[in-house]
Amino acid sequence: MKILALIFNGFEEEEAMAPFALLRRAKADLTIASINSIVTGCHNISISNVTLLNTIDYKDYDCLLIPGGPHYKFLRESKLVHEIINYYFQANKFVAGICATPTIFGALGHLKGKNYTCFTSMNSDFGGFYHDDGVVVDGKLITSRSVAYSLDFAYAIIRETMGMDVLNTVWEHIYYEK
């Protein structure tokens, strides 16, 4: 499974690092990309060795993952981010977003008729069906409510994109008790 994760300055570190670490444990082919090679989160924690977006073809991946955080303001305005999100929805590929990120999907019209969640106070009339749950899966759309559900979000991404056997193996390695 090839997963493209987009992060920009101001991302929420736990919403990124929990999925990143667990996806790597699951042996996903994870590329963390941005417009900068070093990206700093909203709690001043930086990730280095980030792949530059202009050096890859974002269409070569099976799943798009975007953590939330204050960088949603950049996501909301970036034509490149909109182009990438639109491509993944139109190509019927997996799309995963947590916290504020699903609101970008909604603003672009991709939540119409879909079950989803997002940071509760940011929910608006996106034409879909909001659920006040930690994680909501609707087909290839995986959404999560907030940083409190970062692990559950990661588990859902692994389960939906790689299968329950892979998720069970990850759980065994981290001593997760079901």
Q: What are phi and psi of 83, to 5 degrees?
A: -60, -45
**Is 45 in a helix, a strand, or coil?**
coil
The predicted model scores a pTM of 0.97
Look at residue 119 in the predicted model and tell me its pLDDT.
96
pLDDT digits (tens, 9 = 90+) for 104-139: 999 999 999 999 999 999 999 999 999 999 999 999
Look at residue 178 in the predicted model and tell me its pLDDT.
73
Most distant pair of Cα atoms in the chain: their distance = 42
d(CA 70, CA 51): 21
Look at residue 158 in the predicted model and tell me its pLDDT.
98
Domain residue ranges of the chain, discontinuous segments joined by +:
2-173
Count of helix runs (H) and strand runs (E) in the chain? 6, 11
- Asked if 12 and 42 touch (Cβ cutoff 8 Å), the reply is yes
The secondary structure of 64-125, three-state, reads EEECCCCCHHHHHHCHHHHHHHHHHHHCCCEEEEECCHHHHHHHCCCCCCCEECCCHHHCCC
Look at residue 172 in the predicted model and tell me its pLDDT.
96
Tens digit of each residue's pLDDT, the chain (178 residues): 999 999 999 999 999 999 999 999 999 999 999 999 999 999 999 999 999 999 999 999 999 999 999 999 999 999 999 999 999 999 999 999 999 999 999 999 999 999 999 999 999 999 999 999 999 999 999 999 999 999 999 999 999 999 999 999 999 999 988 7
- Asked if 50 and 32 touch (Cβ cutoff 8 Å), the reply is yes
d(CA 163, CA 152): 15
Look at residue 150 in the predicted model and tell me its pLDDT.
97
- Looking at 3.10.20.30, 3.40.50.880, 3.40.50.1100, 3.40.710.10, the CATH number of the domain 2-173 comes to 3.40.50.880
| Radius of gyration of the chain from its Cα atoms, rounded to whole angstroms | 15
Look at residue 144 in the predicted model and tell me its pLDDT.
98
